[in-house]
A = this chain, B = another copy of it.
């Protein structure tokens, strides 16, 4: 096949630490196969398409693309703009002016919905366009795919944060410590803080899943019990956790567009604990640092993100359209993954909850069985060394 048109990559939604690795995967694969007559990158996602603002990706030096792939956040820029039919039509008109025939949309389940609409509309108006989704979300809430690029890095970031804050809490006890974790509706990230617990009495002492409402009284009982036993307590809780009335415990939780939250939930819970239990409490909220820091990035996340980009190009060149690349876990003694494809409709607007079988019956912990799933993605988290007890 000879290049019959140009390609276009766009990013959508919140950036991750490895979204630029997927970009590198697209560009390298496209170059290798001389797949497209040109390759554009939309500046600030769908907005860049609507405004006709593009990077020329084939013009970027190889070294620049490599270096960019090692930077977090989106090098193209991304957008949370919600688009309707008019915008999609306009976007297709812009694509036509540049003979863009391959569209790679990198995002989560909402973005896959947009990609799917774009594909249908192109078909309706008779514009030949292959649309391929590239998965990206720290939330890990896409169906079909085993996991999503970006999730392993964020999962490990928060696990390390809970380990380190837990070490601080152990060294200077007498305090309850809330760690507010990214995650509005699903608990994949907060569940990963289980990796921090090297010894049974280590943080996190309590992990709550936003899939389950958390009655304030249960939280207070749980915290009180742990604190009485250990004299300290670290609680991992999602920014989107709700109580039994589907309220955020009186916290100031402002919703941004498309799932982003500005929340002070951890701080609010620390106030409630302090008022009700008379135990000193505080909260930390690494927040967006949890998706933009590469300090804890597992290499596999970068590798798989890049591979998803490459697989998208191969699929497009093979005549596929209306599909999203997936990661497929191979059953093997040593972790291995490959890529697959799934219809965009299958993943569009569907949120994959944290599975019930990995929740603990107590409602405040995660089953160790979850480790079999996550450790291959994040690696084990090294425990901090401790002095031998030997008090005399």
Contacts and interface: CB of A to CB of B under 8 A. Distances in A.
A172 B67 contact: no
Nearest to A391: B53
Contacts of A284: 285-289
Interface in A34-68: 41, 43-44, 53-56, 59-61, 64-65, 67-68
A180 to B, nearest CB: 8
B388 A295 contact: no
A165 interface: yes
Main secondary structure of the interface of A (DSSP, over half): loop
A293 B385 contact: no
A15 B64 contact: no
Given A54-B392, A164-B292, A287-B283, A386 B72 contact: no
B75 A387 contact: yes
B283 A384 contact: no
- Chain B CB within 10 A, most for which of A175, A177, A262, A295: A262
Interface string A247-263: 00000101010000010
Nearest to A57: B387
Contacts of A53: 391
A17 B177 CA distance: 18
A21 to B, nearest CB: 12
Contacts of A296: 295
B64 A384 contact: no
A74 B385 CA distance: 11
Contacts of A282: 254, 256, 262, 287-288
A72 B168 contact: yes
Contacts of A72: 164, 167-168, 384
Interface string A263-302: 0100100110010000011111111110111111000000
Contacts of A74: 171-172
A78 interface: yes
B285 A15 contact: no
A75 B292 contact: no
A181 interface: no
Nearest to A289: B161
Nearest to A19: B171
A75 B267 CA distance: 27
A64 B390 CA distance: 13
Contact of A15 (B80, B171, B291): B171
A68 B389 CA distance: 13
A164 B262 contact: no
A164 B78 CA distance: 15
Given A77-B171, A165-B287, 16 more contacts: A15-B167, A15-B171, A55-B391, A61-B388, A71-B167, A71-B386, A73-B167, A75-B171, A79-B172, A164-B293, A165-B288, A165-B292, A168-B291, A168-B292, A262-B280, A264-B267
Question: Nearest 9 pairs between A and B by C-beta?
Answer: A67-B385, A284-B287, A71-B384, A295-B295, A73-B167, A262-B282, A164-B292, A74-B171, A73-B171
